[in-house]
Amino acid sequence: MTAALPKGGSAPLIPRDRTVHPVPFDPDYKTSVTRSPKYALLAMESTPTEETGPVFGHDLLGPLDSNLILNFTRGESPAVGERILVHGHVLDENARPVRNTLVEIWQANAGGRYRHIKDTYFAPLDPNFGGCGRTITDEEGRYQFLTIRPGAYPWPNRGNDWRPMHIHFSVFGSGFGQRLITQMYFEGDPLIRHCPIVATVKDRSHIDRLVAPLDFSHSKPHDFLAYKFDIVLRGRRQTFFENKPEGM
Ligand SMILES: [Fe+2]
């Protein structure tokens, strides 16, 4: 007898290999000391709800939700910065497209400042940039965002640490058990090799999966450059989580 497939046609989830994920505790990443679990993790069986939901519809979205250059001013004024397109596929562990899944991003502005009450970096806020966007993948699992290249910013970790340019991603997948929260970096950024958060990923080839290459084939002349960032949810080729094991 064949096991029933969850909604969206995904095969049952293969247990995650925790040995390849970054360790949750890393003294060079100071906040991991207090954020990491104090006790051994308990494995729990997943439930049908976790493997089949959530389900998203395109009617959730506004016309500018995936355009961070314009969405904060509802199209009135563009954000300051280097215009870029970030695009890619969301695939499952069997290399099949993950369709109709919510992809959300958030990022600093071109000066490296977040629109957040706790961000006190003296780079100015851009009155035309909010820093958040969302979209839903199409039938081939594709997504894209128009945005500006985020600036690097300092953070009080070991005294003179700087985050490389990055965009935060949240991807739900076709089930909560696939949910991924991670960060995308930019090809050629010299700060990547100095970043303690990146360094929690110990394997160089795994870090490479978080670095989006420049993609001239999707750039638009006289308008924007493009970067390609494919995301694989679970499995041997998966995109790596931030510094903690997540999901099931
Ligand atoms: Fe950040």
pLDDT at position 58: 74
Task: Write phi, then psi, for 132 (nearest 5 degrees).
Answer: -130, 145
Average pLDDT over residues 76-82: 98
Catalytic residue among 29, 143, 153, 185: 153
- Active-site residue 222, yes or no? no
Binning pLDDT at 50, 70 and 90, where does residue 237 land?
Answer: low
Q: Does residue 76 have a pLDDT over 50? A: yes
- By percentage, how much of the chain surpasses pLDDT 70? 88
pLDDT digits (tens, 9 = 90+) for 21-46: 788 899 999 999 999 999 988 877 77
The model's pTM: 0.88
Q: Does residue 66 have a pLDDT over 50? A: yes
Average pLDDT over residues 199-203: 90
Q: Is 76 left (phi over 0), alpha (psi -120 to 50) or beta?
A: alpha
Say if residue 54 is preceded by a cis peptide, omega within 30 of 0: yes
Q: Tell me how far the alpha carbon of residue 168 lies from the centroid of ligand 1, in angstroms.
A: 6
Burial class (CB in 10 A: 0-12, 13-18, 19+), 200: buried
Catalytic residue among 166, 179, 209, 234: 166
Task: Write phi, then psi, for 25 (nearest 5 degrees).
Answer: -115, 120
Q: What is the overall mean pLDDT for the chain?
A: 87
Q: How many helices (H) and strands (E) does the chain have?
A: 3, 11
- Active-site residue 74, yes or no? no
pLDDT digits (tens, 9 = 90+) for 124-163: 999 999 999 999 999 999 999 999 999 999 999 999 999 9
Q: Does residue 52 have a pLDDT over 80? A: no
Q: Tell me how far the alpha carbon of residue 108 lies from the centroid of ligand 1, in angstroms.
A: 7
DSSP string covering 7-47 = TTSPPPPPPP-GGGSPPS--TTSTHHHHHS-SS--------
Catalytic residue among 87, 89, 134, 163: 163
pLDDT at position 194: 96
What are the structure tokens assigned to 6, written together? 């969850």
Q: Does residue 78 have a pLDDT over 70? A: yes
pLDDT at position 238: 61
Is-contact 128 78, C-beta < 8 A?
A: yes
- Active-site residue 163, yes or no? yes
Q: Tell me how far the alpha carbon of residue 56 lies from the centroid of ligand 1, in angstroms.
A: 26
Q: Tell me how far the alpha carbon of residue 167 lies from the centroid of ligand 1, in angstroms.
A: 7
Q: Tell me how far the alpha carbon of residue 184 lies from the centroid of ligand 1, in angstroms.
A: 10
Q: Does residue 72 have a pLDDT over 90? A: yes
- Active-site residue 206, yes or no? no
Average pLDDT over residues 180-191: 96
The residues, ordered by sequence, that sit 6+ positions from 234 with a Cβ below 8 Å of its Cβ are 13, 14, 16, 92, 93, 173, 177, 178, 247
pLDDT at position 56: 78
- Active-site residue 39, yes or no? no
Structural Rg of the chain based on CA atoms: 18
Q: Which residue has the higher pLDDT, 16 or 164?
A: 164
pLDDT at position 175: 78
CATH for 18-31+50-233, options being 3.40.50.300, 1.10.1750.10, 2.60.40.150, 2.60.130.10: 2.60.130.10
Catalytic residue among 114, 143, 185, 227: 114
Q: Does residue 236 have a pLDDT over 70? A: no
Domain ranges of the chain: 18-31+50-233
User: Rounded distance, CA 115 to CA 81, Å?
Assistant: 15
